[in-house]
Copies of this chain bind each other. A is one copy, B any other.
Amino acid sequence: VAVTLSDVAQAAGVHPGTASRALNPATRARVAPATARRVLAAASRLGYLPNSLARGLRTRRSYTVGILIPDLTNPLFPPIVRGADEVLGPAGYSGLVANTDNDDTREELLFAALRARQADGFIVATARREHPLLDRMAESNVPIVLANRATDNHAIPAVVPDEAAGIRTAVSHLVALGHRRIAHLAGPQGLSTGHGRYRAYLDAMAGQGLWPGPVAFADAFAEAAGRAAGVELLATRPRPTAVVAGNDLLAIGLLDLLGGAGLDCPGDMSVVGFNDHPMLSRMATPLTTVRIPQREIGGEAARLLLDLMTEPRSAKLLLLPTRLVERASTGPPPAAP
């Protein structure tokens, strides 16, 4: 039913090999201009679409890239996926997205399925700081680039937000507003994002000549975890006047807590998030946050991967700039009692 290369060759009165050379821009020069024209004409007349399965089998390239993310439904990831797609597409590649749901077994299965599909490389946004599966993959020389999160050993190239700079601007902003007792609502320490922001908080406080305030550790980047860990922060005396949260969902959980305790944000406590989750500006208390360039993270990861697939190079870490977005959840600290 579908028209094949042979059909085109026949229509143009040439051998399939010649038709193949004429159709491929890279080899077109090796064929007589007039012949090439005839082949191209026949191809477009017949509506020829090269069968990429056959091509891939022959060339050992599927022009497919596996994209592993925890969950497409988490708004952090779609822009990363689109960013990747925007550079993969024009290069002739398609991204095949797989959701791991943070499940190791599932991740392993999805990896295998993607390898069976002959994926030429992988963009992985599911990395933990220690990630045996990824280490194994990297050792087996499959091209991989990490997005948004890195591993500790830096054996795999990664494109991540500049957590340190982001947290630094958040802390500076709070200090400029007059805050001194600044706490941290930290994310999961098994992730480079959670841990990196925690380290960055410590550094930023030191850089300001301040003692770090209380730190509470949430066990997930989620609202419920933010509430659970947030209670510790609210119980501390003297109470911190500001909190830098590991991400927006943690900050939102904390905001819930403040509401429940009859505390005002930012009147009693300022809160800053991280990532710039959609719709933040529409919240009851619009959240000040650190925006990360999600699309660029995906795009740069794809670019790096494309590089990697043509000529293997050593791992590198790409830090992308962040930007403080000031909204209504930060203000001057309450007057001393």
Find out whether the CB atom of B117 lies under 8 angstroms from the CB atom of A99. no
Q: Is A247 close to B, CB under 8 A? A: no
Contact residue among B116, B118, B282 (Cβ-Cβ distance under 8 Å from A284):
B282
Q: Contacts of A51 on B, CB cut-off 8 Å?
A: 57, 116, 118
**1/0 per residue A88-107: CB within 8 Å of B?**
00000011110100000000
**1/0 per residue A255-298: CB within 8 Å of B?**
00000000000000000000001110011100000000000000
- 8 A Cβ contacts from A229-264 to B: 252
**1/0 per residue A189-211: CB within 8 Å of B?**
00000000000000000000000
Q: Is A336 close to B, CB under 8 A? A: no
Find out whether the CB atom of A99 lies under 8 angstroms from the CB atom of B82. yes
- Which stretch from A70-78, A163-171, A310-318 is at the chain B interface? A70-78
Contact residue among B73, B82, B279 (Cβ-Cβ distance under 8 Å from A279):
B279
Q: Contacts of A282 on B, CB cut-off 8 Å?
A: 252, 279, 283-284
Q: Is A177 close to B, CB under 8 A? A: no
Q: Is A29 close to B, CB under 8 A? A: no
Q: Of all chain B residues, which has the CB nearest A78? A: B72
- 8 A Cβ contacts from A54-92 to B: 54, 56-57, 62, 71-73, 75, 78-79, 81-82, 85
Q: Contacts of A82 on B, CB cut-off 8 Å?
A: 71-73, 99
Q: Contacts of A309 on B, CB cut-off 8 Å?
A: none
Report Cα–Cα, A204/B144, bound state, in Å: 54
Report Cα–Cα, A116/B56, bound state, in Å: 11
Shortest Cβ gap from A91 to chain B (Å): 12
**1/0 per residue A103-115: CB within 8 Å of B?**
0000000001101
Q: Of all chain B residues, which has the CB nearest A77? A: B78
Contact residue among B54, B72, B117, B279 (Cβ-Cβ distance under 8 Å from A81):
B72
Report Cα–Cα, A73/B117, bound state, in Å: 26
Report Cα–Cα, A81/B69, bound state, in Å: 14
Report Cα–Cα, A112/B50, bound state, in Å: 10
Report Cα–Cα, A117/B118, bound state, in Å: 13
Find out whether the CB atom of A49 lies under 8 angstroms from the CB atom of B278. no
Q: Is A10 close to B, CB under 8 A? A: no
Report Cα–Cα, A72/B270, bound state, in Å: 33
Between A52, A62, A95, the greatest number of chain B beta carbons within 10 A of the residue's beta carbon is seen for A52
Q: Is A53 close to B, CB under 8 A? A: yes
Q: Contacts of A56 on B, CB cut-off 8 Å?
A: 53
Report Cα–Cα, A285/B99, bound state, in Å: 33
Report Cα–Cα, A279/B75, bound state, in Å: 11
Find out whether the CB atom of A52 lies under 8 angstroms from the CB atom of B117. yes
Shortest Cβ gap from A63 to chain B (Å): 9
Not counting A73-B82, A94-B117, A278-B278, a sample of 15 additional A-B residue pairs whose C-beta atoms are within 8 angstroms of each other reads A51-B57, A53-B53, A53-B56, A53-B62, A53-B117, A53-B118, A73-B79, A75-B278, A97-B97, A277-B279, A279-B279, A279-B283, A282-B283, A282-B284, A283-B284
9 A–B contacts from the bound complex (CB under 8 Å): A49-B112, A49-B115, A49-B116, A51-B116, A52-B116, A53-B56, A72-B72, A252-B282, A277-B279
